[in-house]
Amino acid sequence: MPAYRPPTGEMFALLEEVLEAGPTLAALSGAGDDPLPLLRDVLEEAGRFTAGQLAPLNRSGDEEGCRLENGVVRVPAGFDAAYAAFVAGGWGGLSQAPEWGGQGLPRAAQILLDEMIASANFSFGLFPGLTRGAVEAIERHASEELKALYLPKLVSGEWCGAMALTEAHAGTDLGLLRTRAEPQPDGSLRVTGGKIFITAGDHELAENIVHLVLARLPDAPPGVRGISLVLVPKYLPDAEGRPGARNAMSVGALERKMGIHASPTCVMNYDGATGWLVGAPHRGLAAMFTMMNAERLFVGIQGLGIAEAAYQGAVDYARERRQGRAAGQSGEGPQPILVHPDVKRMLLTIRAFTGAGRALALWVALRMEEAARHPDPGARAVAEGHVALLTPVIKAAFTDLGFEAAVLGQQVLGGHGYVREWGMEQLVRDARIAQIYEGTNGVQAMDLAGRKLAMEDGALPARFFALVRSEIEAGAAIPGAEHYTAPLAAALKRLEAATARLARRAARDPAETGAAAADYLRLFALVALGWMWVRMALRAMRKGAEATPRHQAWLDVARFFLARILPQSVALDLALSEGAAPLLALAEEAY
Amino acid sequence: MPAYRPPTGEMFALLEEVLEAGPTLAALSGAGDDPLPLLRDVLEEAGRFTAGQLAPLNRSGDEEGCRLENGVVRVPAGFDAAYAAFVAGGWGGLSQAPEWGGQGLPRAAQILLDEMIASANFSFGLFPGLTRGAVEAIERHASEELKALYLPKLVSGEWCGAMALTEAHAGTDLGLLRTRAEPQPDGSLRVTGGKIFITAGDHELAENIVHLVLARLPDAPPGVRGISLVLVPKYLPDAEGRPGARNAMSVGALERKMGIHASPTCVMNYDGATGWLVGAPHRGLAAMFTMMNAERLFVGIQGLGIAEAAYQGAVDYARERRQGRAAGQSGEGPQPILVHPDVKRMLLTIRAFTGAGRALALWVALRMEEAARHPDPGARAVAEGHVALLTPVIKAAFTDLGFEAAVLGQQVLGGHGYVREWGMEQLVRDARIAQIYEGTNGVQAMDLAGRKLAMEDGALPARFFALVRSEIEAGAAIPGAEHYTAPLAAALKRLEAATARLARRAARDPAETGAAAADYLRLFALVALGWMWVRMALRAMRKGAEATPRHQAWLDVARFFLARILPQSVALDLALSEGAAPLLALAEEAY
């Protein structure tokens, strides 16, 4: 089983040097004068916790899985103690509001913690991950009474959250859902219906589980405009927040899945369960989207975390396993397979993602901070626009690249990669879910190509492209920087052309958006990652004689990305230029 | 669980119309005047057998897996009866020599049977698959005595075969292996050593299992020039071929794997086991390569078969599952998700592989037939060259594309794709092994870019490119054909340039080959698949008014491939043009 080494040095270098997070955070109210030393301590402590307490349970959790025993969900051995340590360490409330007992640390710290958890134990991360989404939805949309009763327990992690959206016949198309919520004289709702695919819908880690359930009120209009969000706790709390009577809800079954075996995926039955409306009647989808956007970024980070774990496992093997010799070299005995260029290709392909992916995620985290805390409403709106634009990119591209990274890491191990005890095949199985849940990556691509590009008359992508261009222009002052900036400039030009072309075509035929979406998102992600590689390379070049091996590595991996990965942008642009027609030609009966 | 529908109509149309297999096979001795009617009957029967007897065991075999009980390997329920039916139906000897009891049918029929088996039950296919490899090695290299004793039983399938190459410290680098073979006074050898990853190394389906073991004779030179091939049967047969005493070999353990759970992957111990030399002393690797080349094509076909299964499962779901409506359409109720362009994209991406991949595999099968039976030695040599060139392409590209197809098919099902009972995630887990075993796909890429391109001073690729070019030129006579031929001509030009450039660079620095290999193989495969799509499109265009929906589908999927997939060749060429330097820059200690 691969040992996990939290890359806290790299994380901190990105924060400090590449993203200049110190001044950004210091300028935002509440972040303190020099927030970096505290962040560094938190990162180191998070590294110790995830590597020491969560990573050792990853393989055993996969083997043991979850069980449903007489209606009670049992998680694998050790998860209860690890979760208790998580709560005791205050990790649940790391970036949550101090008002509710959180530590109020920046989202950048949260994202790095999430990455480490995903690397160490992907399944474990779903318990607090869903809880945090629930906190965001309640914080923004629930009544003061519900907030006061539920948020302190959810923020501390004593209680957990769950999202109950999907029904057997209503997945991507939530407008079809049938779960009913009937108003009661006391102001509560009685919720009746069945939900599937409810991650962490039940377990014994927390003393209560708070479900956010999408349901229809009796007077609801049909479709997505008639959906309300209802808070349904497993145990009904008394006024002091002590869990009381068991609510009328139960687990019908646990899904048997390809991976994330340590995370219970529940079929939930609500049989007249008591709940309370969150937000306005019939406006539940908007409230749920608050939660889903938070979850989508979280899921993208899971892709990043699994890629880092795959990289570490593959590098360890490539250093230890001796087979053959480097081409053209003679000598005694076999060499570590790391000498073979094709092994380097696989490892560098992972690094080309993790290095810039982490930087991009941190950049988004800083924009989230601005969106929440910047004193200027205009700056808040711009930051929010960047987050909105990049959320589907990070969810879909990071999970696709995370899965590809897990597959490459497994490939480095050859036959051993296919054997369970080595732990690499689990990464592939676990990574696969992230491309599917929280809106499939096809749905994310439609969100980007359909909704986000069109927002504010196209201002969101235009503002983002301007940032990339300014980075390219900043390189003009550095001799030799054009080796890095020129390929990115060409790719940006292709992306801008593809964006304008898609807008023109989609106005004529709405099918053009769907036909372009997946390839367009990939093209967008390549430019966004290229932007971060150029940023890292320029920072490294500016170091001059003070450059460390880390800076040299940024330059070397940037070069690999720009030379061997970014050319995919040419192919994507060419494919996109052909439009929808070649994709729609085959008659549906001929499939 | 997806039901399997053998695509025998498409298979036969490819044989008859696209590959003109009738005249080719009729011209080869032994194939009969008009072999197609018989082939059609065989295909239909194979379809009934695989869909009726093997497909129903696929999910249960995955769930139950294999067990080692008191040294005896137990396969899942139903596999014994299915294997007995396989033997009784004569499927084991379908393409084997009548001299040994085979039916002597063309390899094209074998390849189509192999595809159907892989679609229906990937794990099952490994029992006869390994056996056939053993037959080929014994037929070509063993003594007449060994042939007479072993081949009839192996050809009928009453006995099974296994390949014992890998040792714990010797995988890709077989020169490191340590298993010893000591000559005995009676001319036999005593084999001592341990092997791992031995597919179907032991089981009770057959009354005997014949291992081909790589080992060192006492006077062996070090490295790969000191390896001999030894036939080691589980039970020592008497002169009449009745299995007698148990040989000194045993199963140490079964590997627990990501997939192919119904195929026992054995740790084998040979404790002074009795065996007999196959081929010349110290020349075992050459003999084993006969077996491995056959296996590599077989494994490539497994990738094709799993892609077909994934396609069928995904199309079934896309027709039945109703969510949302096509963009821009109004109306009552949700539509089948097949209307969404992004779903079509996923399905067409699979078809873009399976359609042309099947045609290409059949083309190679016909060249194998020529290599074995053509009266002209020159024609035999040319055919053999084509097979040698395309073997690594088919093994690596078909298994990569097969895995990608399985992942896409799973994605079409959304959350249900991740749940075991739907059967799609099993396809992903099973498909994954094909990229690893029988020489990882990295090893295949090195075989193509290093060895095969250089053979006969580069004549192999030159002859292949000439064939592609002549297809393009044949299109000049057909109005409108340039829409199909022009993109292929451009891609061929890129591949030819990349080939020449690689030869120049590799002469200067052998690391260039390894740095290019994987991307080069993918580029090669895209052109080879494009060649077949153009061939199919031109055949369809020539049909004119007689074109059927099948011909229209060939035109439509060809168009999709050329417009939306083949542009990848531009990116690969650009990445390759950068050479090894960007891939070698990062210092090994910085990984």
Residue contact B437–A415, C-beta within 8 A: yes
Nearest Cβ partner for B514 among A172, A327, A589: A327
The shortest C-alpha distance from B295 to chain A (Å) reads 16
Question: Does the pLDDT value for residue A157 go beyond 80?
Answer: yes
Residue contact B341–A514, C-beta within 8 A: yes
In this structure, the strands spanning B243-246 and B235-237 are antiparallel
Residue contact A345–B575, C-beta within 8 A: no
Question: Does the pLDDT value for residue A283 go beyond 90?
Answer: yes
- Non-local (6+) Cβ contacts of A414 within 8 A are B171, B172, B436, B440
Residue contact B345–A432, C-beta within 8 A: no
The set of catalytic residues of B is: 438
Q: Which CATH class is domain A159-281?
A: mainly beta
The per-residue pLDDT of chain A, averaged, comes to 96
**Helix (H/G/I), strand (E/B), else coil: B502:** helix
- Catalytic, out of A438, A456, A482, A589: A438
Of the residues A299, A329, A343, A344, the best mutation for testing chain B's interface (the one with the most B CB atoms within 10 Å of its CB) is A344
Nearest Cβ partner for A518 among B326, B345, B517: B345
The neighbouring-strand residues paired with A250 are A269
Kindly report the length of chain B.
591
d(CA B43, CA B524): 30
| Residues of chain B neighbouring A172 (CB-CB closer than 8 A) | 323-324, 414
Cβ-contact B425, B489 below 8 angstroms: no
The answer, yes or no, to whether ipTM is higher than 0.90 is yes
Residue contact A582–B560, C-beta within 8 A: yes
Exposed, middle or buried, A451 (CB in 10 Å: 0-12/13-18/19+)?
A: middle
In this structure, the strands spanning B208-215 and B159-164 are parallel
Angle between helices B284-320 and B377-412 (to 10 degrees): 40
At which residue do the structure tokens 């040979």 appear? B270
CA B499 to chain centre: 24
Question: Does the pLDDT value for residue A580 go beyond 90?
Answer: yes
Nearest Cβ partner for B586 among A258, A326, A557: A557
**What tokens appear for B293 in the block?**
């080349």
Question: Does the pLDDT value for residue A568 go beyond 90?
Answer: yes
Give the CA distances from residue B511 to residues A182, A340, B502, B506, in Å, rounded to whole numbers and listed in that order: 70, 8, 11, 7
| Residues of chain B neighbouring A490 (CB-CB closer than 8 A) | none
d(CA A30, CA A99): 13
**Helix (H/G/I), strand (E/B), else coil: B222:** coil
Q: Which of A180, A129, A182, A123 lies closest to A154, judged by CA?
A: A129
A178: how many CB neighbours lie within 10 A of its CB? 13
Cβ-contact A192, A430 below 8 angstroms: no
Nearest Cβ partner for A585 among B326, B556, B572: B556
The neighbouring-strand residues paired with B74 are B67
**What tokens appear for B171 in the block?**
């995988």
The neighbouring-strand residues paired with A195 are A268
- Non-local (6+) Cβ contacts of B587 within 8 A are A549, A552, A553, A556
Q: What is the dihedral of CA B430, B434, B438, B440, to 10 degrees?
A: -120
The shortest C-alpha distance from B343 to chain A (Å) reads 8
> Left if phi > 0, otherwise alpha if psi is -120 to 50, otherwise beta: which for A322?
beta
Q: What is the dihedral of CA A14, A15, A21, A26, to 10 degrees?
A: -160
Our CA angle for A584, A587, B2, nearest 5°, is 105
Residue contact A578–B585, C-beta within 8 A: no
| Residues of chain B neighbouring A442 (CB-CB closer than 8 A) | 340, 342-343, 346, 411
Tell me the torsion sign for CA atoms A142, A147, A149, A151.
Answer: positive
Name the band, by pLDDT with cuts 50, 70 and 90, for residue A30.
low
pLDDT of residue A1: 58
Exposed, middle or buried, B329 (CB in 10 Å: 0-12/13-18/19+)?
A: exposed
Query: Number of Cβ pairs closer than 8 Å across A and B?
Result: 269
| Residues of chain B neighbouring A414 (CB-CB closer than 8 A) | 171-172, 436, 440
Show contacts of B318-324: CB within 8 Å, 24+ apart: B318/A591, B318/B343, B318/B347, B318/B412, B319/A591, B321/B413, B322/A169, B322/A173, B323/A170, B323/A171, B323/A172, B323/A173, B323/A176, B324/A172, B324/A173
**Helix (H/G/I), strand (E/B), else coil: A234:** coil
B424: how many CB neighbours lie within 10 A of its CB? 27
**Helix (H/G/I), strand (E/B), else coil: B69:** strand
pLDDT of residue A329: 84
d(CA B486, CA B490): 6
Of the residues B64, B199, B344, the best mutation for testing chain A's interface (the one with the most A CB atoms within 10 Å of its CB) is B344
Our CA angle for A144, A149, A151, nearest 5°, is 85
| Residues of chain B neighbouring A582 (CB-CB closer than 8 A) | 559-560, 562-564
pLDDT of residue B327: 86
- Looking at the domain B141-282, which fold is it? Butyryl-CoA Dehydrogenase, subunit A; domain 2 (2.40.110)
pLDDT digits (tens, 9 = 90+) for A216-251: 999 999 999 999 999 999 999 998 999 999 999 999
For the residues of B504-522, what is the DSSP string, one character each?
HHHHH-THHHHHHHHHHHH
Q: Which CATH class is domain A8-138?
A: mainly alpha
- Per-residue pLDDT of chain B (591 residues), as tens digits, is 568 999 999 999 999 999 999 999 999 966 678 899 999 999 999 999 999 999 999 999 999 999 999 999 999 999 999 999 999 999 999 999 999 999 999 999 999 999 999 999 999 999 999 999 999 999 999 999 999 999 999 999 999 999 999 999 999 999 999 999 999 999 999 999 999 999 999 999 999 999 999 999 999 999 999 999 999 999 999 989 999 999 999 999 999 999 999 999 999 999 999 999 999 999 999 888 877 888 999 999 999 999 999 999 999 999 999 999 988 888 888 999 999 999 999 999 999 999 999 999 999 999 999 999 999 999 999 999 999 999 999 999 999 999 999 999 999 999 999 999 999 999 999 999 999 999 999 999 999 999 999 999 999 999 999 999 999 999 999 999 999 999 999 999 999 999 999 999 999 999 999 999 999 999 999 999 999 999 999 999 999 999 999 999 999 999 999 999 999 999 999 999 999 999 999 999 999
Give the CA distances from residue A434 to residues A327, A512, A518, B504, in Å, rounded to whole numbers and listed in that order: 38, 26, 16, 43
In chain A, where the domains are located: 8-138, 159-281, 445-582
d(CA B76, CA B426): 16
Exposed, middle or buried, A104 (CB in 10 Å: 0-12/13-18/19+)?
A: middle
At which residue do the structure tokens 């967008």 appear? A524
Amino acid at A415: G
d(CA A458, CA A452): 8
d(CA A527, CA A531): 6
d(CA A94, CA A90): 7
**What tokens appear for A270 in the block?**
């609500």
Residue contact A407–B557, C-beta within 8 A: no
| Residues of chain A neighbouring B319 (CB-CB closer than 8 A) | 591
**What tokens appear for B350 in the block?**
């699979």
The shortest C-alpha distance from B340 to chain A (Å) reads 7
pLDDT of residue B331: 83
The neighbouring-strand residues paired with B214 are B229
Question: Does the pLDDT value for residue A584 go beyond 80?
Answer: yes
**H or E element: which one contains A195?**
strand A189-199
B38: how many CB neighbours lie within 10 A of its CB? 15
pLDDT of residue A29: 67
Tell me the torsion sign for CA atoms A172, B429, B361, B118.
Answer: negative
d(CA A124, CA A129): 9
- Non-local (6+) Cβ contacts of B519 within 8 A are A564, B572, B575, B576
Residue contact A513–B327, C-beta within 8 A: yes
| Residues of chain B neighbouring A407 (CB-CB closer than 8 A) | 403, 432
At which residue do the structure tokens 């367009």 appear? A520
| Nearest residue of chain A to residue B549 (CA atoms) | A590
Question: Does the pLDDT value for residue A526 go beyond 80?
Answer: yes
**What tokens appear for A256 in the block?**
């048997």
- Non-local (6+) Cβ contacts of A116 within 8 A are A6, A46, A47, A50, A51, A305
The neighbouring-strand residues paired with B163 are B212
**What tokens appear for B279 in the block?**
């081929």
| Nearest residue of chain B to residue A591 (CA atoms) | B315
